[in-house]
């Protein structure tokens, strides 16, 4: 059982490295990603903190997540629900709140905030569907849903739901008609 768990963890770590190499043209090697990518390290730290959180070690999980934040510049609450293959490019300044939910294959650039808009103990952070891309320094606030394969432009402020496949930008974020998604996902 321990060997199966270790194999599973190592498999996920290898998947994260492959994801970074696929999504970042600057990634020169798997060794470089594994040793030097703070966004990847933050995701690995989150996974350990998340496991501790769900096993009832909440203080330890929070303490560990804060240590990871100090080392990586990325703050992910251990209670957040994050799917597979999350890639945080450049990492610095990313904040993912307690009730945030992220699907698989999400790409976040530096400075992204998935923040709350309520002081009550309720769902108060965004939900991002599979394949969502969020540009640098974008802020998504509240219990909003970002549909599958949607894109949020850099510096945008999002306070309303975004339908699947939609591209939005601005303050407040509004749909961009005829957006070239291939160009949007390459820009930082």
Among residues 50, 77, 110, 125, the one annotated as catalytic is 110
Q: Which long-range contacts (CB under 8 A, 24 or more apart) does 69-75 make?
A: 69/42, 71/38, 71/41, 71/45, 72/38, 72/39, 72/41, 72/42, 72/45, 73/38, 73/42, 74/38, 74/39, 74/42
pLDDT digits 0-9 by tens, 122-154: 999 999 999 999 999 999 999 999 999 999 999
Q: What is the pLDDT of residue 77?
A: 98
Q: What is the bridge-based pairing of β-strands 167-169 and 107-109?
A: unpaired
Residue 62 CA to residue 69 CA, distance in Å, equals 10
Sheet holding 151-152, edge to edge: 87-89, 107-109, 133-134, 151-152, 167-169, 174-175
Residue carrying structure tokens 């432009």: 153
pLDDT digits 0-9 by tens, 10-21: 899 999 999 999
pTM of the model: 0.89
Active site residue 110: yes
46-55 mean pLDDT: 96
pLDDT bracket for residue 185 (50, 70, 90): very low
Q: What is the pLDDT of residue 4?
A: 77
43 CB-side CA count, 13 A: 30
**Percent of the chain's residues with pLDDT above 70:** 94
């Amino acid at each position: 059982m321990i060997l199966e768990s270790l194999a599973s963890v190592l498999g996920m770590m290898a998947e994260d490295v492959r994801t970074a190499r696929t999504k970042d043209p600057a990634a020169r090697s798997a060794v470089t990603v594994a040793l030097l990518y703070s966004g990847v390290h933050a995701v690995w730290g989150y996974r350990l903190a998340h496991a501790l959180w769900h096993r009832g070690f909440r203080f330890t999980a929070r303490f560990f997540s804060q240590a990871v934040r100090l080392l990586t510049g990325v703050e992910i609450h251990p209670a957040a629900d994050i799917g597979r293959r999350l890639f945080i490019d450049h990492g610095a300044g990313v904040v993912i709140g307690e009730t945030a939910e992220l699907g698989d294959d999400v790409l976040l650039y530096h400075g992204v905030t998935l923040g709350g808009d309520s002081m009550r103990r309720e769902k108060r952070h965004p939900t991002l569907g599979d394949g969502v891309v969020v540009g640098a320094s974008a802020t998504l606030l509240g219990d909003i849903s970002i549909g599958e394969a949607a894109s949020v432009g850099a510096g945008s402020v999002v306070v309303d739901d975004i339908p699947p496949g939609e591209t939005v930008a601005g303050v407040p974020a509004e749909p961009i008609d005829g957006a070239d998604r291939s160009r949007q996902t390459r820009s930082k």
